[in-house]
Amino acid sequence: MIEASETGAGYRNRLSNGKLVAQGDMPAGKGGDGDGFRPHELLEAALASCMSMTVRIAAEKYGYPLTHVAVTVTLDRSVPEAFAFDYQLALSGDLSEAQRSRLERAAAQCPVSKTIAANPRLRALPTA
């Protein structure tokens, strides 16, 4: 669970899972100070980190010589009814083409990508 709460400074929010803290904000051009992650950047970060972790887990499971993984995700909202997450996966290490292919498939099937693909609903819960 993540809680977002205003900090009293414009649109800035404190984001916390109860243990770790991050900051969200709107860009300066949209009324914020640009002092935190924009909301859509947090979506991109969730997918990128999940892909990276899933690739690392798969490489360890199969004993692949992966030395580094980096994922870049961009949310393309140019078509509002059909937005897309574009990503680039960079794998380092002495990997065969078959190993690279398996790791690429693992990235595309990470848990966050499955959640996004499932077309989740929003449900408002009653406040306490």
Chain-centroid distance, C-alpha 77: 16
Q: Is 16:31 a contact under the CB 8 Å cutoff?
A: no
Classify the phi-psi angles of 61: left when phi > 0, otherwise alpha if psi is within -120 to 50, otherwise beta.
alpha
Domain 39-117 has CATH 3.30.300.20: yes
Cα separation values, 109 from 30, 54, 74, 113, 115, Å:
34, 8, 17, 6, 10
Cα separation, 31 vs 28, whole angstroms = 5
pLDDT band at 9 (very low <50, low <70, confident <90, very high): confident
Q: What is the pTM for the complete model shown?
A: 0.92
Domain spans, the chain: 1-37, 39-117
Are 120 and 114 within 8 A, CB to CB? no
Please write the tens of the pLDDT for every residue from 33-81. 999 999 999 999 999 999 999 999 999 999 999 999 999 999 999 998 8
Mean confidence (pLDDT) of the chain: 95
Q: Which position has the token pair 């190993």?
A: 99
